Amino acid sequence: MSLGLNLGLMGGAKLLVRNQVIFDGAADHIDLSGTVPNGSAFEVEVKARVIADLPTNGSDTTNLFYQGTYGSSSGLIQCALRGGSTYKGMLFRIGNGSGGYNQLSPSSDQTSTINDNEFHIFKYTFDGSDSMKLFLDGSEVGSKTSLTSPTFSSTSVKAIMNSVSAEYGVNTAMRHHKVIAGSSVLQEFDFQNNAGTTTVVDISGNGNNGTVTVGSGGLDSFWSLYVG
């Protein structure tokens, strides 16, 4: 496992640096200090690429943002990538106040688009009242209204993570991550310009830095170079 900044030369002319962060499915994640207040409208936007295809059986989930505790009445926010005919490539959950959740996936299957090993922009939005939406590369791919008691904890787990154990998750790389709470940016990370340390700096100016937590097993590579 190396968190150092690596430099390399291509063709003797081009200087390359590690410009993406890789979540390898072995509990690597980034703990977050910023919190979306319960009941607030929010937007999570992530530029990421799937390195190993999303499984078609839908068993593995790559969490791009997670706040709260699964199964708790205090609720959760889960913004994820997930394969299979039920989830169709993306998964968005908001707690319902009784240990369950409001759930949204695309109206048509987006798995083949997501599985092309290219970077895509994934966006998950909640209007603070009664509407959840999904966007892929700027186009709306799913929406849900008539939500049941939208609820999410602002005090428990807050993280960007591929998975919480080595058994789940798909290798995923990320270049940019932004969370908007209400009408302002809560935190924003640009991994292209922020590689090589155990702290990722919040470029919004709010000071909500993230802390890298490295799991075991798998690739054990957090910072990596991507050319393309």
Write down the CATH number for the domain with range 7-224: 2.60.120.200
pTM for the whole structure = 0.88
Tell me what pLDDT residue 203 has: 94
Domain ranges for the chain, please list them. Answer: 7-224
Phi-psi region of 196 (alpha: psi -120 to 50; beta: other; left: phi over 0): left
Tell me what pLDDT residue 78 has: 94
pLDDT tens digits in sequence order for the chain, 228 residues long: 233 333 333 333 444 456 888 887 667 788 999 999 999 999 999 999 998 888 877 778 889 999 998 888 889 999 999 988 999 999 999 999 999 999 999 999 999 999 999 999 999 999 999 999 999 999 999 999 999 999 998 888 888 877 655 556 778 889 999 999 999 999 999 988 765 677 889 999 999 999 887 766 544 456 777 776
Tell me what pLDDT residue 2 has: 34
Specify the residue for token string 């199964």. Answer: 71
- Long-range contact pairs involving 111-117 (C-beta distance under 8 Å, separation at least 24): 111/54, 111/56, 111/83, 113/89, 114/50, 114/54, 114/81, 114/89, 114/90, 115/50, 115/53, 115/54, 117/49, 117/50, 117/51
CB-based burial label for 101 (10 Å; 0-12, 13-18, 19+): buried
Tell me what pLDDT residue 7 has: 34
Tell me what pLDDT residue 3 has: 38
Tell me what pLDDT residue 4 has: 38
- Which residue(s) pair with 131 in the sheet? 145
